[in-house]
Chains A and B, each alone.
Chain A
Amino acid sequence: MSTLVTFFTRRRGRRRWHATDILAYLYLLIGVVVMFGPVLWLVLSSFKTPAALLEFPPTLLPLAQKTVVVPGYAEPLRLFDVTMADGSIRRLAQVRRVGLQAQMVDPAGPDEIIRVHIDQRSEVRHFRLATENYTEAFLRFNFAIYLRNSVVVTVTATLITLLINSMAAFALSKYRFRGRNAIFLIIISTLMIPISVILVPVYLVITQVGWVNNLWGVIIPAAATPTGVFLLRQYMLTIPDELLDSGRIDGASEWRLYWQIVLPLAAPALAVLAIFSVMWRWNDFLWPLIVLTRSELFTLQVGLAAFQGELQIQWHYVLAMTVLTLLPITLVFALLQRFITTGIASTGVKG
């Protein structure tokens, strides 16, 4: 018991190694495997051919069977190592399979057909990334359209959120006016109201405005985030009012004070909100699922969910599309992870 407690409670500053240090690193290493392993497996699998995906047990790396072009045959033929009757092993190409018999040819002498039992052959395989999963997903399906819709929604919604949230935060932090506290309280009190609680009435509003099957129906309702107003207001409170007063003496309009003095100074908070907003909008699922019913308007998330729900799941495309969907977020994370983790730890927000 006490070693367990030592394991959890030792703090920085001690110099020598201790048994609990090893336990701690073991815990963290298992953590790396558990957290990254599934994603890595997804990425590896997405480069496998449909045939390799069906295999059980699966291979770790994407392997594909080698093929060879033999004169006299239009299609490339699959290569096998065949154990011959005398025990020797020959590398042959398969022409066709009839029941338990396989008709093979030697690529060097394609005139002679060799008949072997199928148990006597084993596939010749090599490491190959099936990048066609990706290109075909793009060409054969609406994937490019989903991608475009997602980018449009994410970028537009984030820009609108930054603008209107910062304007509201500016008013709430830099002016004294009647109803200020009441308005702030009402906004804050809805922090915990998720869209799932008001699905039906919001859908009615969207229908009345004519935004069903319209990207605006996804963009606008989510734009006035209470989180953003709260975050920006707290930050803007730290900007000294004297800066605004001196601007007013110079004859600047209130709008000018907002965009030339306050916004540039609030850039760090705006950046945090921008990252949050991009993550929220890119990952949104339930609301777009309700608003968008025509497939050419689907966002990536909705399109991906619809595609994987089909009767015959075409895993090789689903996996490739999933990788492409998580790629932008992963890049943002790799570049900005310090910023994101400290930002969240200090504000404790999540939409």
Chain B
Amino acid sequence: MSILATLSSKLAQGVYVLLMNIFGLVMEPLQRLIGVRRMPYLFLLPNLLIFGIFILFPMVLNLYFATTSGTALFPQERPFVGTANFERLYACQDYFNPVTCQEDRFWRAVHNTTVFVALQVGGMILISLTTALVLNRKIVARGFFRSVYFYPVLLSPVVVALIWKWILQRDGLLNALLVGLGQEPVQFLLSGTWAMAWIIIISIWAEMGFYTLILLAGLQSIPSELYDAGAVDGTSSTQRFRHITLPLLMPTMMVVLILALIRSVQQFDKVFVLTGGGPGTATFLLVQYIYSTGFATQIPRFGMAAAASVTLGAVLLIATIIQLRLGRSSERHLA
């Protein structure tokens, strides 16, 4: 067994050296050609090329798509319409009632996403904080419990959705438990309210471990001398929590809040597999609007999809700027 291990590591090393020498056949003559001082540009080239073509350029192009219409994908075949897509997207008599909007599915998605984000982020922060505080105590097998909460974070959204779809279905485990308790079985995914409740619960289940980890790291970076000093001064544990733990955890809480918000606004895959946006449009979220308008349809409306994604991008941009601002001010606060 150990012979096999050494052999395979020798083999991996051999492959690594061989590959790097082959790349060297290109890189070393190039160095002679352009000189050492320009080498960093060469090292950056592959990453920047992909980055530019598949991230930066599309970001600019997205604005072009948002201001053109038609079903053609190629820019030269798309007529320029100015702000018509945005006007259509935002044409609404009453923003609180999606039915009165021209693009009612978009506003339905905005409404659903708002409800989802508010409840999911709020619930998740509460549960993550509770869990982090419990894990921060003197706990036997802390590493084990920490990984228990983290495990679902690694599961793919499709797997998460299927695990729960199986539990929530009509003849599923949850209904068996309900019947066992003398209750009527519930068609969880066929009721709008239940479906929304469950996608919130499931996404908290799947993602809370990540935020728990970050909050736990934040808690553990609070110097224990502060608590000792507080105890010497005769403060109660309530006071120590309010005056030591909470203020010192604030910067971490802010990071967690913004990260959770940004991820929550883009929620798509779990919900798409679990409910497909349904029943009706009860769990139809913003990214699914982009996907279904631009791709999962006979007549793709790329302009509308791009206009919606520009809107989404603007929301994310604002959240990111707030995060950077808060990060800077909390650094100053700590310094």
Contact = CB atoms under 8 A, between A and B. Distances in A.
B227 A259 contact: no
Nearest to A285: B269
B50 interface: yes
Nearest to A208: B74
Interface stretch (A80-88, A104-112, A169-177): A169-177
B270 to A, nearest CB: 9
B241 to A, nearest CB: 5
Given A8-B241, A35-B205, A201 B62 contact: yes
A32 B309 CA distance: 38
A8 B130 contact: yes
Contacts of B182: none
Contacts of B179: 57
Interface in B140-172: 143, 145-152, 154-159, 162-167, 171-172
Interface centre among B50, B57, B312 (most CB of A within 10 A): B50
Contact of A175 (B27, B40, B137, B241): B40
A343 to B, nearest CB: 10
Interface string A237-256: 00000000000000001111
A39 interface: yes
A135 interface: no
Given A177-B41, A322-B163, A205 B54 contact: yes
A9 B163 contact: no
A312 B261 CA distance: 36
A286 B241 contact: no
Given A167-B44, A168-B48, A199 B20 contact: no
B59 to A, nearest CB: 6
A57 to B, nearest CB: 4
Interface in B36-83: 36-41, 43-44, 46-48, 50-51, 53-59, 61-62, 64-65, 73-75
A283 B156 contact: yes
Contacts of A254: 27, 31, 36, 39, 43
B316 interface: yes
B306 interface: yes
Contacts of A54: 171
A197 B312 contact: yes
A31 B59 CA distance: 42
A330 B55 CA distance: 31
A326 interface: yes
A36 B156 contact: no
Interface in A309-351: 309, 315, 318-319, 322, 325-326, 329-330, 332-333, 337-338, 340-341, 344-346, 348, 350
A11 B136 contact: yes
A305 interface: yes
B150 A337 contact: yes
A28 B20 CA distance: 48
A77 B172 CA distance: 29
A194 B47 contact: no
A304 B162 contact: yes
A42 B27 contact: no
Interface string A295-313: 0000001001100110000
Nearest to B131: A31
A74 interface: no
Contact of B290 (A6, A38, A196): A196
Interface in A169-189: 170-172, 174-175, 177, 180, 183, 186-187
Given A200-B294, A325-B159, A255 B28 contact: yes
A9 B65 contact: no
Contacts of A204: 58, 61, 65, 73-75
A61 interface: no
Contacts of A57: 176, 179-180
A201 B58 contact: yes
B51 A224 contact: yes
A119 to B, nearest CB: 21
Contact of B213 (A192, A226, A258, A345): A345
Given A286-B291, A301-B157, A350-B263, 5 more contacts: A10-B138, A31-B131, A201-B306, A224-B48, A350-B210
Q: Which 9 A-B pairs have the closest CB atoms?
A: A201-B58, A283-B156, A12-B138, A201-B61, A171-B43, A168-B47, A255-B27, A57-B176, A171-B40
15 contacts: A1-B238, A11-B136, A42-B166, A167-B47, A177-B38, A183-B44, A194-B266, A199-B309, A203-B73, A203-B295, A205-B53, A220-B54, A282-B156, A304-B162, A305-B273
